[in-house]
Structure 1
Amino acid sequence: MSSWMAGGQADTWSNTPIGGYVRNRDKSSVTIQSWHTARRENNQPYVAPKRDDTLWDLTVVDEVHSAREETQLYDLLTRVESASECLYALTATPIQLNVGELYDLLRLVDLLESWDDREQFEEFFETRRVFEESLDEVGTGSQGSTLAEQTFLDSVRKELELSDDKEGKQLAQTCIETFAEMLHGHIDAYAGYDDRAQEVVDGPKSFD
């Protein structure tokens, strides 16, 4: 294992300190580098050169909570993601991010296609907040299913500050449907989430 501070200029990646090390080995290579060094603009091409094929089988980056869009570290992570077969972005630091910043980090580790849209991603979490408040208003099964659904829809519309007309109700319905599609996509893609989702459906806030 080695750590480098890339310096000078090289005509090809194989002539850089990292490239030369990898080129001269006849077995798998493991490299370790400080992201404080790697993120520097003149070092990024050495760590993650732009090429048609991937360079690294696996890249592990720690302290990713420090990455924000339009920072050198985030630029580095974007390049590394393209140059790697697999990227693990790690942090053990408790952080509070706004939803947009959370999206910026998660999109580096292969978000589902239905989730890989910043505006839709942010709307999902806003809709979840609205759902929680609207479900409290509906209650715990004191109404019939049809009436409860209508009450829920009206509450969602009000929380989203949509107009009390056909257009407003349709927008609220579309918001609910988009949320459901994203949620189902996530459940289908990851093992174990279907059981958790069923627990929620069968819980005390079910309409039935």
Structure 2
Amino acid sequence: MNVMEDQASARLSQDFLSRLELPPQKAKVPFLIAIIGLVGSGRTIVAKAIVEKIDGAVLVQANSARFLLREAATTWGDNVRRVLKIVAENLLSQGYGVVFDGASADVEDRQNISEIAEKTGAKVFYVRIIIDPEIAKAREQKKYDNPNWLSNFEDFRVSTTDAMLQNINDRAPLHRDLDSSQISGLIGEINNNGMVEELDQQVDTVVQKIKESP
């Protein structure tokens, strides 16, 4: 794997930060919210909804890092984690809260988040999305089959439709076997097998728990 030099990571991270539209208000206390869920589970939808409901929250999308890395002809994997880490630490140091929409089911991703929290003093919350893999695949196929999709920093087309559906198949066992009781900082679970209205209500419940957390 081609792991970037520190200078390259810093440049890409600054490019990432320059593209963000920061909220007028800062967070009351530093926090980092990370979403756990399959591709197609609605991670970005949930993350955006949370950002709208909590003052000072900034959405940091893993696919935005992938977009910049592809432009730089650099591999993903650990490089995505490096960019997200630098961006999150910068935002937290400015007094904002961070909401990650990328997959956090992997131990490496949660370790990355723990290191960010340790350095910045941010409180970490995990939100887990539960979804039937077949429903996730149907939603992802509809999204990726859209001929009018213009891939960009805010909405990057990661791969082909078939590759994304295979990703769901490959990672479904990991999510199935992940024990919620072993996720330190889990603040709530959202079932996204149903209607949008049901999702909104569940997001409101999770946000309320976050706001009430000491």
Q: Work out whether the TM-score is over 0.5.
A: no
Q: What TM-score do you get using the length of structure 2 for normalisation? A: 0.29
**Which one has a larger percent strand, Structure 1 or Structure 2?**
2
Give the structure with higher Rg (CA): 1
Q: Which protein, 1 or 2, shows the higher relative CO under an 8 Å CA cutoff with sep ≥ 6? A: 2
